Structures are given as C-alpha cells and as structure tokens.
Amino acid sequence: MSENNQVAIITGAGSGIGRASSIKLAENGATVVLVDYNAQSGEETLQMIKDKGGNGIFVQADVSKSEDVQNYVNKAVEAYGRIDFFYNNAGVVQKFNRLADIEEAEFDRLVAVNLKGCFLGMKYVLQVMDRQGSGHILNTASTAGIRSEHSASVYSATKHGVVGMTKSAALEYVKRGIRINAILPGAVKTALTAGVMKSFQEGGYVPEEVSNVRMGRPAEPEEIANVVAFMASPASSYMTGSLVNVDGGLTL
C-alpha cells in the first residue's frame, strides 16, 4: 500500500495520532505539510520524518483561526501545487465535568478548535480540491461522536458535529471526485488521554467506558496511524461518508 507522490496535509501533527500518522504517511511516500499550534513539537515531527528520508514542511497555525487556516492551505499549494489528502485531525479535550458545571469559556474553546477548526480546514481545502476535481479528506471524530460520554458532553457534541459535517459534505462532493470520511478512535495513548485521566482522578470519577474497551487496553497512536494510511491509500477508493471506528471494541 503506497501513497507515492501524494501531497498530504496533517493537522495536530506535533503529537499523538497526528504525529504517528504524519510519520506513517511520509514512510509510505507522501510529501507532508505538517500543521500544529505548537511550533516546537511540529518541527520535531518534521525532523523525525526527514531523519527517515521523508519530505515536507511545517506550518504553524491555530486551526480555529481563519487566516491561519488559509495560510497553511496556501503554503501547501505554493510548495507542492496540489492537495491530495487532508487529515483534519487537531483537537482538544474538555475538563471532565457534568454539563451544568462546564464553564462557558470551555464550551467556546472546544467548539472553536474541534468544530470550527474542522469546518475551516474543510472549507479552504475543499476549494483547492474542487478546482483539482480530486481529493480525499479524513476528519478525526471520536467514538464520542456517535455515543454518549459521561462528563464530556461538550466534547461529545463537537465530535457529533464533526460526524454530521463529514456525512453532509461527503454527499455534496461525491459527484465532484472528492471523498470525505471520518475516523473514530476510542481510547488512544496520547497527551490528550493523559490529561483526561488526570481530569478523572481530580474529579474522583472514572467513567465505565474506560473499562469498556473490550480489548482491555488503549490503542497505541501507531494503531490509528495504520488505519489513516489505509484510508489515504487507493485501497479505500469506494469509501465516502464512512465512519471508521478504531476502538478496540469500545462501541460493542
């Protein structure tokens, strides 16, 4: 399975799932445009890729800011002339709390990064892909995008939003040569989940779904990256509007 010569943008490329996916796509031959808010960790990912003989650039961006998103899209097109695969992945988790105890500022932050960030990325990348008449977008939703998640109502709402946007946009672009899918990880061992566990412990509550991962362990980021690589490859050619669970049986 090879992405030979693909130009791929990956957001949230400085850590966790985004970093592992960026490395995997570059190993498979893609030229990568790495995007992250954190310049240091984004540059580190780029260095890891270059050390293995891969190609790419890093662009610092806050995915919730329209001008930053337009900038990373423009930089990709200036550098490489096209965008074949867009992994729209950056996201943040909430401080775990029952809904009435969630601060309004926390709501605004989650909606800005997880939902508006997803929308802005799709909006500006789709303009390029539509001109090309080809392309594939993969959004990172979550199992929280199709089911309840105790103490994470706003996070869950943003991920349900990502699922809805994925399916509606897939329908809008299916006749224009563009596929749009979502990947739904369950629990993955990243900086994000380390924060979640701390938040649970501080709140004195560990939700049942943590022990409901039927495989009895969280995923390694590379186990998500392997599925991202499959999605980026021609092997996924008949998939659009799909919600791809990668959750160790969490949703069973």
Ligand X SMILES: NC(=O)c1ccc[n+]([C@@H]2O[C@H](COP(=O)([O-])OP(=O)(O)OC[C@H]3O[C@@H](n4cnc5c(N)ncnc54)[C@H](O)[C@@H]3O)[C@@H](O)[C@H]2O)c1
In the complex, which residues of this chain contact ligand X (CB under 6 A)?
A: 12, 14-18, 36-38, 41, 61-64, 89-92, 113, 117, 140, 142, 185, 187-188, 190-193
As measured in angstroms, the least distance from the Cβ of 104 to ligand X is 18
Q: Which is nearer to ligand X, 31 or 140 (CB)?
A: 140
Angle of helix 117-132 versus helix 66-80 axis, rounded to 10: 30
Q: Which is nearer to ligand X, 130 or 192 (CB)?
A: 192
- For residue 77, the tally of other CB atoms under 10 A from its CB is 17
As measured in angstroms, the least distance from the Cβ of 134 to ligand X is 25
Q: Which is nearer to ligand X, 132 or 193 (CB)?
A: 193
Q: Which is nearer to ligand X, 210 or 239 (CB)?
A: 210
Q: Which is nearer to ligand X, 91 or 135 (CB)?
A: 91
As measured in angstroms, the least distance from the Cβ of 129 to ligand X is 21
CB 4 within 8 A of CB 207: no
**Structure token pair of residue 122:** 């799709």
As measured in angstroms, the least distance from the Cβ of 169 to ligand X is 17
As measured in angstroms, the least distance from the Cβ of 190 to ligand X is 3
**124: annotated active-site residue:** no
Tally the residues of the chain: 252
CA-to-CA dists, residue 176 to 61, 88, 168, 180, 205, angstroms: 28, 20, 14, 11, 47
Strand order through the sheet with 31-36: 55-60, 31-36, 7-11, 85-88, 135-140, 178-185, 243-246
Cα gap 96→99, rounded to integer Å = 9
Which is catalytic among the residues 72, 155, 173, 205?
155
CA proximity to 246, closest of 184, 187, 190, 160: 184
Active-site amino acid positions: 155
